[in-house]
């Protein structure tokens, strides 16, 4: 036995050295078939990867293709694994890392319900205007705002609504597309 | 294009795919398929005793032939019993098509009798799976299943077929094109990268081939090309458990298996090499040990058909994605064409270094005249069977590692073992599948008494189909590997690793109408092994061995290659004779 192992005898592998964790937005083009979302989600949960945001919708009806946008976090090695593992799934056509070629366009839509009277109500409307949120439903004591933008913008809008009588938030999750003329 | 029922389509597709044998177990949700099976003679059905056995038998069949193994089980418990086998096949990349019955489509989701969410349960343990909801989709799903199972990195595919689909009539066809346009495994390696690999190999001073099960999966041609390249380069070669037989163990360039129970020379070569050429191997934790201390000074070339195997555990300096037969063919051609002159002096020094490691004789054990040492039993088994047409399967544990260390494999597809998942109970049913594929060969399951009890019922299958498999049990009354870890890592507290009530294996063999042999003394071992070989029946061989023997060398999990533990019979470092090492080069 070499003397350089000072730790107690353990059969558990040592943790790999920590690398910088980064956030990535991946675009996954898949066959729109039953179970395909379960395959993608199952891969993330089964292998212990993070999902920060996930959106999915059919984008090409004739070709039966859906587009999944997933925001995930990991070290560069883990991100590479995630991409390779996704690519390996049979119904997956393409995996594109939208973050790797510079920052991509990312948007989210949220509907925000706020309840209140008097000064709070006026303040909510004023802030909504500043954030370019639209009123899509109104009653004498409530508004529902529709707001679109980067996730951070929606976060700050929601935070501002909190003391003004925030009731409920519904968010789509991130959709993304690359800048410039090229498609994925 | 012919009209037929879904059940008949299953038979037609199996026959069109060249399936000779299908392993299965009937039940309510597959009765129409069984009804079709019994009315034809193109596909032969083998009745197992448990669905797990069916999958392992198909794995044995597939690994020993290179063909796709086929399985047929019913819904619910039939499908869930198959899950261990599916996971095993996924881990070891074994091509299988597993057909499961399902409750009729209108009952799906209603918690019907023997219903389970088969595609949900098997999604993470298959390469792909289907739930066929109309009979029109059935022919395509069946044929695609075979294509997906056998192409790229092979794996198991499940086709779940509801009972009403089996009854429904439709048009059978063999699709010409593949529906999943996204599924295109890369076969040819990138030529520029292969050239780069040749350049790296040409200047290497301490190179090493590290090969794995991918070579066996790629086929005979890949193994032949590997042999050619190893000869051309003069480099040493080691292999994982799954890759044994791709390169002949009798060759002097062979260093033995590497990894947790690999040889001193293989692991030290991995640790000290300056160029590692990984072919069809995946750097799993039993191979690398402690990752941050894994082969610190080497450049790594990684050749694999699965891009997700690359940079998963170990960063590759050069990655070549492709089938190893194609990549190796290019490598051999380019190596010859470029007329590389390797650094002869450096290589000689490297071989001399390897010679000193070999001199350690790391597999040495203290033999006994009183009690059978398990290593000795495998050595004798090898000596008495090496000139025969022999196939070896194993269970999981110490006996498996001793088999890998002491049985010398010269050819691919002769060694069937559960590597990735480590499934106790794999070997007996696997031997059934192997024997079926090779009826005139000698098929031996090197077993442990604990493992073999997990699927013992398949002995009944072997008897039913006159498959003279030899179950060679190294009986130490312990779950030996568990006991070894408890001894070395858990303060010798042997928690539940001793089996206090074992069956009498000779009587058990009798009860199954097989042949039982017990051997308790080293002196009678040869004679009894000969008896085992000569008996034209399935044999349970109860080889009573030293219960306290440990399997060395051993890299405790999470340790580095140079932190290997050795048995007390191995030559001590200071005693290692360098003269002997020099002679061996």
ipTM summary value: 0.88
Asked if residue A91 and residue A116 are part of one domain, the reply reads no
Domains and CATH numbers, chain B: 2-172 (3.40.50.970), 191-358 (3.40.50.1220), 374-544 (3.40.50.970)
Asked if residue A145 and residue A93 are part of one domain, the reply reads no
| Number of domains into which chain A is organized | 2
Cα distances from B386 to residues B182, B239, B380, B383, B389, in angstroms, run 46, 20, 10, 6, 8
- pLDDT digits 0-9 by tens, B395-452: 999 999 999 999 999 999 999 999 999 999 999 999 999 999 999 999 999 999 999 9
| Minimal-distance CA residue of chain A relative to B292 | A16
Asked if residue A90 and residue A112 are part of one domain, the reply reads no
Residue A147, CB-side half-sphere exposure with 13 Å CA sphere: 29
Instruction: Identify which of A155, A167, A163 has the alpha carbon closest to the alpha carbon of residue A119.
Output: A163
CATH code of the domain covering residue A46: 3.30.70.260
Tell me the C-alpha distance between A81 and A26, whole Å. Answer: 12
For residue A26, tell me if it sits in a domain: yes
Asked if residue A142 and residue A82 are part of one domain, the reply reads no
For residue A7, tell me if it sits in a domain: no
- Evaluate whether B489 touches B500 at the Cβ level (below 8 Å): no
The beta-carbon neighbor of A93 closest among B181, B291, B563 is B181
Asked if residue A151 and residue A92 are part of one domain, the reply reads no
Catalytic residues of B: 51, 113-114, 163, 481
Written in H, E and C, the secondary structure of B89-130 is HHHCCCCEEEEEEECCHHHCCCCCCCCCCHHHHHHHHCCEEE
Residue A16: pLDDT band by 50, 70, 90 thresholds?
low
pLDDT at B583: 35
- Evaluate whether A157 touches A133 at the Cβ level (below 8 Å): yes
pLDDT at B575: 42
State phi, psi for A145 to the nearest 5 degrees.
Answer: -100, 145
Tell me the C-alpha distance between B192 and A85, whole Å. Answer: 25
Chain A, residues 48-107, CB within 8 A of chain B, namely 77, 80-81, 84-85, 87-88, 90-94
- pLDDT digits 0-9 by tens, B185-233: 999 999 999 999 999 999 999 999 999 999 999 999 999 999 999 999 9
Chain-chain contact of A2 with B310 (C-beta, under 8 angstroms)? no
A vs B: CB pairs below 8 A: 73
pLDDT at B209: 98
Asked if residue A67 and residue A41 are part of one domain, the reply reads yes
pLDDT (mean) for A12-37: 83
Tell me the C-alpha distance between B487 and A11, whole Å. Answer: 13
Residue that terminates a domain, selected from A64, A97, A130: A97
The answer on pLDDT for B584 being more than 70 is no
Residue that terminates a domain, selected from A73, A97, A121: A97
Which run of H or of E encompasses B251? none
For residue A15, tell me if it sits in a domain: no
- pLDDT digits 0-9 by tens, B338-359: 877 888 999 999 999 999 999 9
pLDDT (mean) for B90-107: 98
Cα distances from B278 to residues A85, A152, B304, B316, in angstroms, run 20, 45, 8, 9
Min CA distance, A107 vs chain B (Å)?
A: 27
pLDDT (mean) for B51-56: 98
Cα distances from A141 to residues A124, A157, A162, A166, in angstroms, run 12, 19, 16, 12
pLDDT (mean) for B266-270: 97
Asked if residue A29 and residue A93 are part of one domain, the reply reads yes
Residue B209, CB-side half-sphere exposure with 13 Å CA sphere: 28
Asked if residue A90 and residue A26 are part of one domain, the reply reads yes
Residue that terminates a domain, selected from A49, A66, A97: A97
Chain-chain contact of B182 with A12 (C-beta, under 8 angstroms)? no
pLDDT at A101: 74
- pLDDT digits 0-9 by tens, B107-123: 999 999 999 999 999 99
Residue B374: pLDDT band by 50, 70, 90 thresholds?
very high
For residue A144, tell me if it sits in a domain: yes
The answer on pLDDT for A61 being more than 70 is yes
Asked if residue A28 and residue A93 are part of one domain, the reply reads yes
For residue A168, tell me if it sits in a domain: yes
pLDDT at A9: 47
For residue A33, tell me if it sits in a domain: yes
Asked if residue A114 and residue A86 are part of one domain, the reply reads no
Asked if residue A124 and residue A93 are part of one domain, the reply reads no
Residue A15: pLDDT band by 50, 70, 90 thresholds?
low
- For the four alpha carbons of A65, A67, A73 and A79, in that order, the dihedral sign comes to positive
Written in H, E and C, the secondary structure of chain A is CCCCCCCCCCCCCCCCCCCCCEEEEEEEEEECCCCHHHHHHHHHHHCCCCCCEEEEEEEECCCCEEEEEEEEEECHHHHHHHHHHHHHCCCEEEEEECCCCCCCEEEEEEEEEEECCCHHHHHHHHHHHHCCCEEEEEECCEEEEEEEECHHHHHHHHHHHHHHCEEEEEECCCEEECCCCCCC
Tell me the C-alpha distance between B553 and B556, whole Å. Answer: 10
pLDDT at A6: 41
For residue A3, tell me if it sits in a domain: no
- CA B352 centroid distance within chain: 33
pLDDT at B572: 56
Burial pattern A96-110, b for ≥16 Cβ within 10 A else e, equals bbbbeeeebebebbb
Tell me the C-alpha distance between B170 and B303, whole Å. Answer: 44
Question: Which residues of chain B have a Cβ shorter than 8 Å from any chain A Cβ?
Answer: 119-120, 123-124, 127-128, 131, 148, 180-183, 285, 290-292, 306-308, 310-312, 315, 485, 488-489, 556-559, 562-563, 565
- For the four alpha carbons of B262, B267, B268 and B273, in that order, the dihedral sign comes to positive
The answer on pLDDT for B579 being more than 70 is no
- pLDDT digits 0-9 by tens, A140-182: 999 999 999 999 999 999 999 999 999 999 999 999 999 988 8
Which letter does DSSP use for residue B260 in this model?
T
Min CA distance, B148 vs chain A (Å)?
A: 8
For residue A164, tell me if it sits in a domain: yes
The answer on pLDDT for B375 being more than 50 is yes
- For the four alpha carbons of B310, B315, B320 and B326, in that order, the dihedral sign comes to negative
Domain with A153, as residue range(s), is 105-177
* Partners of residue B565 in chain A, C-beta under 8 Å: 1
CATH code of the domain covering residue A171: 3.30.70.1150
């Amino acid at each position: 036995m070499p003397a350089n192992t000072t730790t107690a005898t353990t059969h558990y592998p040592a943790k790999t050295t920590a690398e910088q964790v980064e956030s990535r937005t991946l675009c996954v083009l898949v066959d729109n078939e039953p179970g395909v979302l379960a395959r993608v989600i199952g891969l993330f949960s089964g292998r212990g990867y993070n999902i920060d945001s996930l959106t999915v919708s059919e984008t090409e009806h004739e070709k039966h293709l859906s587009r999944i946008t997933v925001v995930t976090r990991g070290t560069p090695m883990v991100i590479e694994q995630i991409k390779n593992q996704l690519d390996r799934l049979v119904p997956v056509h393409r995996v594109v890392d939208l973050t790797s070629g510079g920052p991509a366009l990312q948007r989210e839509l949220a509907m925000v319900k706020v309840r209140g009277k008097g000064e709070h109500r006026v303040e909510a409307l004023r802030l909504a205007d500043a954030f370019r949120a639209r009123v899509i439903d109104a009653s004498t004591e409530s508004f529902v705002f529709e707001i679109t933008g980067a996730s951070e913008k929606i976060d700050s809008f929601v935070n501002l609504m909190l003391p003004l009588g925030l009731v409920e938030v519904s968010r789509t999750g991130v959709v993304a597309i690359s800048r410039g003329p090229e498609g994925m | 294009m012919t009209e037929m029922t879904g059940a008949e389509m299953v038979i037609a597709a199996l026959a069109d795919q060249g399936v000779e044998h299908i392993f299965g177990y009937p039940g309510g949700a597959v009765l129409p398929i069984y009804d079709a099976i019994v009315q034809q003679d193109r596909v032969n059905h083998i009745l197992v005793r448990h669905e797990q056995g069916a999958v392992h038998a198909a794995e044995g069949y597939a690994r020993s032939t290179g063909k796709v193994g086929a399985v047929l089980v019913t819904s619910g418990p039939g499908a869930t019993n198959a899950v261990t086998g599916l996971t095993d096949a996924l881990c070891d990349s074994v091509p299988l098509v597993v057909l499961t019955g399902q409750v009729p489509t209108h009952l799906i989701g209603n918690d019907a009798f023997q219903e389970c969410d088969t595609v949900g349960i098997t999604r993470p343990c298959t390469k792909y799976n289907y739930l066929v909801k109309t009979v029109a989709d059935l022919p395509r799903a069946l044929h695609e299943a075979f294509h997906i199972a056998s192409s790229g990195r092979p794996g198991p595919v499940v086709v779940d077929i509801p009972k009403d689909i089996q009854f429904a009539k439709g048009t059978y066809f063999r699709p010409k094109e593949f529906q999943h346009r996204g599924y295109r495994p890369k076969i040819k390696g990138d030529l520029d990268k292969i050239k780069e690999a040749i350049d790296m190999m040409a200047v290497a001073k301490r190179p090493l081939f590290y090969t794995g099960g991918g070579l066996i999966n790629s086929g005979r041609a890949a193994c032949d090309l590997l042999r050619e390249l190893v000869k051309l380069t003069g480099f040493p070669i080691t292999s994982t458990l799954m890759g044994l037989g791709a390169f002949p163990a009798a060759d002097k360039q062979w260093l033995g298996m590497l990894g947790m129970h690999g040889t001193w020379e293989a692991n030290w070569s991995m640790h000290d090499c300056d160029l590692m050429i990984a072919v069809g191997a995946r750097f799993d934790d039993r191979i690398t040990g402690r990752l941050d201390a894994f082969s610190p000074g080497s450049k790594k070339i990684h050749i694999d058909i699965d891009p997700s195997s690359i940079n998963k555990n170990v960063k590759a300096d050069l990655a070549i994605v492709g089938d190893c037969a194609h990549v190796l063919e290019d490598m051999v051609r380019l190596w010859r064409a470029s007329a590389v002159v390797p650094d002869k002096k450096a290589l000689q020094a490297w071989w001399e270094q390897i010679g000193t490691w070999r001199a350690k004789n790391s597999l040495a054990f203290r033999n006994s005249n009183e009690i059978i040492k398990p290593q000795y039993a495998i050595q004798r088994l090898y000596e008495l069977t090496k000139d025969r047409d022999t196939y070896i399967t194993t269970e999981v544990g110490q006996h498996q590692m001793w088999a890998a260390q002491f049985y010398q494999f010269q050819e691919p597809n002769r060694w069937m073992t559960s590597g990735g998942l480590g499934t106790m109970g794999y070997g007996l049913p696997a031997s059934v599948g192997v024997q079926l594929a090779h009826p005139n060969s000698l098929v031996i399951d090197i077993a442990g008494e604990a493992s073999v009890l997990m699927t013992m019922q398949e002995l009944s299958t072997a008897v039913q189909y006159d498959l003279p498999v030899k179950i060679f049990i190294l009986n130490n009354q312990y779950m030996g590997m568990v006991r070894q870890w408890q001894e070395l890592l858990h303060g010798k507290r042997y928690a539940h690793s001793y089996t206090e009530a074992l069956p009498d294996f000779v009587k058990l063999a009798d009860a199954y109408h097989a042949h039982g042999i017990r051997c308790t003394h080293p002196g009678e071992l040869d004679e009894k092994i000969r008896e085992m070989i000569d008996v034209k029946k399935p044999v349970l061989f109860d080889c009573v061995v030293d219960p306290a023997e440990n399997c060395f060398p051993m890299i405790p999990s999470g340790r580095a290659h140079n932190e290997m533990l050795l048995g007390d019979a191995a030559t001590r470092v200071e005693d290692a004779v360098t003269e002997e090492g020099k002679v061996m080069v």
